[in-house]
C-alpha cells in the first residue's frame, strides 16, 4: 500500500515572489506566488510567528502544572501548559521566563523534550517543550494583561487523561506537549 509520488529533494511548491500583506508586533502575514515542478502557478498565504515554548512543570509527585487560559480567537477557556512566545531569544531562556511570569514558579532542573511545528500548513512557528523540575514558588506573579488565568493547579497524568477525554484540555499544542511529557515520565 506504500505510495511514493514525490522525491524529497524536489519541493512540490516553490516561491517565485513573496510580499507582506499584514503585519503587527506579533505576526507577519505573507502571500507568496508559487510554482510547482510541472509549472502550475498559485498563491500561498501564511503567517510568520516567533518560535514559542511550553513548559511541563513536574512536582515531586509527578503531577503537572496547568493553567486555565482564555483564548481570544475562540473566546473560550481551557486547561493548558504554561508557555508563550520567545521574543526570538534562546528557547530555554524563554521557557524559564514564561514559567516564572505566568505561574510564579522557578525550577532548578530543565530538560528539552522536543521542538515541533505548531501548525505547519499555515505558521512558521516552532514550539520548544521543556520539563521543569525541582520547583520553587517565588510567590510573585507578573500581572500582565496578556496573561490571565481563571485557575492553576497540579494534575496527575491520570487526571490529565480524563481532562483530555472530556475535552477540558482541547488545545493541540498542550496535548502534543503532554505526549512528550508522558513519554518522558515513562522513561524516567
Q: Which is nearer to a copy of itself, 104 or 110 (CB)?
A: 104
Q: Which is nearer to a copy of itself, 74 or 89 (CB)?
A: 74
List the interface residues with a copy of itself, window 137-156 (CB under 8 A).
137, 141, 145, 148-154
Q: Which is nearer to a copy of itself, 47 or 111 (CB)?
A: 47
Tell me how far, at minimum, the Cβ of 9 lies from a copy of itself, in Å: 9
List the interface residues with a copy of itself, window 69-128 (CB under 8 A).
70-78, 103-105, 114-127
Q: Which is nearer to a copy of itself, 96 or 129 (CB)?
A: 129
> Which residues, including other chains, have CB under 8 Å from residue 87's CB and lie 6 or more apart?
50, 94
Burial 64-75 (b: 16+ CB within 10 A, else e): bbbbebeeeeee
Tell me how far, at minimum, the Cβ of 140 lies from a copy of itself, in Å: 11
Q: State the Cα–Cα distance between residues 55 and 118, nearest whole angstrom.
A: 15
Say if residues 101 and 87 touch (Cβ distance below 8 Å). no
Tell me how far, at minimum, the Cβ of 21 lies from a copy of itself, in Å: 4
Q: Which is nearer to a copy of itself, 96 or 103 (CB)?
A: 103
Residue 11 interacts with a copy of itself (CB under 8 A)? yes
How many residues bind a copy of itself (CB under 8 A)? The answer is: 81
Tell me how far, at minimum, the Cβ of 110 lies from a copy of itself, in Å: 18
List the interface residues with a copy of itself, window 28-47 (CB under 8 A).
29, 31-32, 34, 36, 38, 40, 42-47
> Which residues, including other chains, have CB under 8 Å from residue 85's CB and lie 6 or more apart?
26, 49, 50, 51, 52, 94
β-partners of residue 152 are 67
Q: State the Cα–Cα distance between residues 158 and 174, nearest whole angstrom.
A: 16
Read off the C-alpha cell for 69. 487560559
Our CA dihedral for 7, 13, 14, 16, rounded to 10 degrees, sits at 150
Amino acid at each position: 500500500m506504500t505510495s511514493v509520488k514525490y522525491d524529497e529533494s524536489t519541493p512540490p511548491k516553490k516561491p517565485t515572489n513573496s510580499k507582506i500583506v499584514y503585519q503587527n508586533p506579533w505576526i507577519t502575514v505573507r502571500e507568496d506566488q508559487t510554482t510547482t515542478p510541472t509549472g502550475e502557478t498559485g498563491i500561498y498565504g501564511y503567517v510568520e510567528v516567533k518560535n514559542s515554548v511550553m513548559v511541563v512543570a513536574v512536582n515531586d509527585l509527578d503531577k503537572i502544572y496547568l493553567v486555565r487560559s482564555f483564548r481570544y480567537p475562540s473566546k473560550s477557556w481551557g486547561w493548558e501548559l504554561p508557555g508563550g512566545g520567545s521574543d526570538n531569544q534562546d528557547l530555554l531562556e524563554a521557557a524559564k521566563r514564561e514559567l516564572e511570569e505566568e505561574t510564579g514558579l522557578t525550577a532548578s532542573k530543565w530538560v528539552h523534550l522536543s521542538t515541533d511545528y505548531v501548525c505547519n500548513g499555515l505558521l512558521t512557528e516552532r514550539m520548544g517543550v521543556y520539563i521543569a523540575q525541582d520547583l520553587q514558588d517565588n510567590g510573585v506573579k507578573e500581572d500582565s494583561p496578556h496573561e490571565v488565568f481563571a485557575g492553576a493547579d497540579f494534575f496527575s497524568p491520570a487526571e490529565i487523561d480524563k481532562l483530555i477525554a472530556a475535552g477540558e484540555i482541547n488545545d493541540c499544542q498542550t496535548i502534543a506537549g503532554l505526549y512528550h511529557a508522558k513519554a518522558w515520565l515513562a522513561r524516567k
